[in-house]
Amino acid sequence: MPLPPVTATRARKHRRSLTFEGFRRDDGLWDIEGRLVDTKDQDIELRDGIRKRGEPIHDISVRVTIDRAMNVIDVAASADYTPFMGVCERILPDYRQIIGLNLFKGFLKAVKTMFGDTRGCAHVNELLMAVPTAAFQTFAGDVKPGEYESERKPFHLDHCHALSTDSEVVRQRYPRWYCPGDRGQKAEDR
């Protein structure tokens, strides 16, 4: 269902584009790449001069390499455009600290702890917050249920409304993990 029609005349001033792509590698690993691009619909004065309308204010990318268990094997971050060229990019190598984390076991909290506030780049953080769901979508249809878990609950259960362990979807598709009456409990509390 689309958004309702707007009720006022308006002029766009800013555009943020987020894109994610997932790749299966020939070595058995997976790459999840995210890119954030901000542009303005008017010229804007920055520290290093004028950015013309439509030129990127931010053009920042991240690649997270994972294994089938969603463990971070490698990470790379880059910035082709920032408002403070020569300054913003200095923090990017620090993101290698996420190597060893698991996308579905405390990843978001760890990124916020390690790189929140002035300890990191808000835009790289924003990209990383979406990597777990981008990875899940990359695996969907390619990694079959049961192929990546043994006696553990599949990683994607209890991470959205439709896949709550008390949902009808789980009852039908994952009957082993169906638990009526679980709604409202955090996955980590079960």
- Cβ(92)–Cβ(61) under 8 Å? no
pLDDT category of residue 145 using cuts at 50, 70 and 90: low
Mean pLDDT, residues 114-130 taken together = 96
Residues 66 and 135: their CA atoms lie apart, in Å, by 9
Of 140 and 23, more confident: 23
Determine the pLDDT at residue 182: 64
Question: Is residue 148 over pLDDT 70?
Answer: no
- Cβ(16)–Cβ(36) under 8 Å? yes
Q: Give the pTM.
A: 0.82
Over pLDDT 90: what percentage of the chain? Answer: 68
pLDDT category of residue 153 using cuts at 50, 70 and 90: confident
Determine the pLDDT at residue 161: 86
Determine the pLDDT at residue 185: 53
User: Bridge partners of 150?
Assistant: none
Mean pLDDT of the chain: 89
Determine the pLDDT at residue 189: 44
Query: For residue 190, what is the DSSP state?
Result: -
CA dihedral for 167, 172, 175, 177, sign (positive or negative): negative
Question: Is residue 23 over pLDDT 60?
Answer: yes
Mean pLDDT, residues 47-59 taken together = 94
